[in-house]
Amino acid sequence: MTYEEFEQAALENIRKYLPEEYTPAKVAIIPQMKLGKTYRAVSVIPDREGLSGISVSLGDLYERYQMYGDLETVFSGVFTDLFEHGTREIQPFLSSYENICDRLFIRLSNEKRNRELLKEIPYTMFRDLAVTYHILLNMDDAGMSSVMITNRLMEQYGVTKKQLHEDALRSSVILFPAVFENSAEFMEMHVQGRVLPKEDRDISGEEMKVLTNEPGVNGAAVIVYPGMMEQIADQLDSSYCIIPSSIHELYITTLLSFENLYEMQQIVRHVNGHYVKEEEYLSDKLYVYHRESGKLFAVGFDDREDCIVCSR
């Protein structure tokens, strides 16, 4: 069965696996956006309050179909799990800001690549990157599930973006503690094929350090934690360069000469183009934290003039 045939089969068969109260619900295939990625999803839209909407990636469902070769197995497994393990409880839980404020966390993503999605969600700029807000639903060995805060949800909660930002920073530090260590030690714990190749993690004989969080997921956002940039500078006793590996981790080095910065930026461009998944891309730029002034600069290069271009 081709993907197009599978998509039609999903649309025609999904109602068989829904509870009775969802019988009048609208079923449609709707393009969805998440940070770094657009995808098609089969969506169930209830016709009354009190029922949770459902949206499942068709790409994920098709992968399961290719694995099992049976529609019944795929649809029954996915939708039975959804309804038996919490879908009906999610909506009441999300309805109160008091319920979710201690489960808020931040993510860092590329603003330019997510502009369409950012029109629908609250965000705060961090240089040329966007800080977005999410609710942690569950985290275990199988992975993490979360809900993105939209403009509509923020209005429903009756909170300002400033309060949302402050609360998300506070709870992120607790939910996802920062990790700052040598890159070799990081590789031993997090071998997931998304970090800089080993040969590029040792420039001029100095091993880089890695900044992430304990799970190693969405760890680049740690740089936004209150006081984090200052703490790193104090630990290194130096100004430093921040190298975006992906949305999951950053590399830190004190090598700040023009030659080193230029070489590192070429490496970042190469790695982003060949190794980093589209949805995990963060930036081609480097960032330099100047210890004496306490300022962070985005660093680019003018290839025509062969010079460094810094911006705040």
Tokens of 89: 């409880």
* Together in a domain, 189 and 260: yes
Residue 159 pLDDT exceeds 90: yes
| Residue with tokens 């509870």, as numbered in its chain | 19
pLDDT of residue 103: 93
**Around Cβ 158, how many Cβ atoms within 10 Å?**
8
Q: Which domain holds residue 151?
A: 97-175
pLDDT tens-digit map of 253-271: 997 777 788 888 888 888 8
Q: What H or E segment, with its residue span, contains residue 267?
A: helix 258-274
Point out the domain boundary residue: 54, 71, 93: 93
197, 188, 184, 252: which is closest to 219 by C-alpha?
252
* Together in a domain, 294 and 194: yes
- Can you spell out the DSSP letters for 23-40? TT-EEEEEEEEETTEEEE
Type of residue at 107: R
162, 92, 99: which is closest to 133 by C-alpha?
162
Output DSSP code: residue 224: G
pLDDT tens-digit map of 86-135: 444 455 567 789 989 999 999 999 999 888 889 889 999 999 899 999 98
Residue 311 pLDDT exceeds 50: yes
Residue 61 pLDDT exceeds 60: yes
Residue 224 pLDDT exceeds 90: yes
% helix, strand, coil for the chain, step of 5: 40, 30, 30
First-last CA distance in the chain: 52
Average pLDDT score over the chain? 81
Taking a C-beta distance cutoff of 8 angstroms, is the pair 65, 74 a contact? yes
* Together in a domain, 86 and 118: no
Point out the domain boundary residue: 155, 175, 195: 175
Point out the domain boundary residue: 148, 175, 202: 175
Which pTM was predicted? Answer: 0.74
